[in-house]
Amino acid sequence: MKNPVNWFEIATTDIERAKKFYLEVFPKTTFEYVDMPDTKMYYIL
């Protein structure tokens, strides 16, 4: 692959809704929740 995506962020006000959407679009995706001091986020594995 010549130009693989390494990192991107998608801002959302409803993280669980966004996760549900991306699981429907990319069903083989695995999400790992990361609880950070000032924000919530998921890593996509």
Per-residue pLDDT, 1: 65
Coil vs helix vs strand at 39: coil
Tokens standing for residue 7 = 């990192």
Per-residue pLDDT, 19: 92
Which phi and psi angles does 10 have, rounded to 5°?
A: -125, 115
Q: Residues 5-42: pLDDT tens digits?
A: 777 888 899 999 999 999 999 899 898 998 889 888 88
Residues with Cβ < 8 Å from 43, sequence gap 6 or more? 31, 32, 34
Please report where in the chains the tokens 């130009």 appear, as a residue.
3
Per-residue pLDDT, 9: 85
Q: Name the pTM for this structure.
A: 0.70
Handedness of CA 11, 21, 29, 14 (dihedral sign): positive
Between 3 and 14, residue with greater pLDDT:
14
Per-residue pLDDT, 5: 77
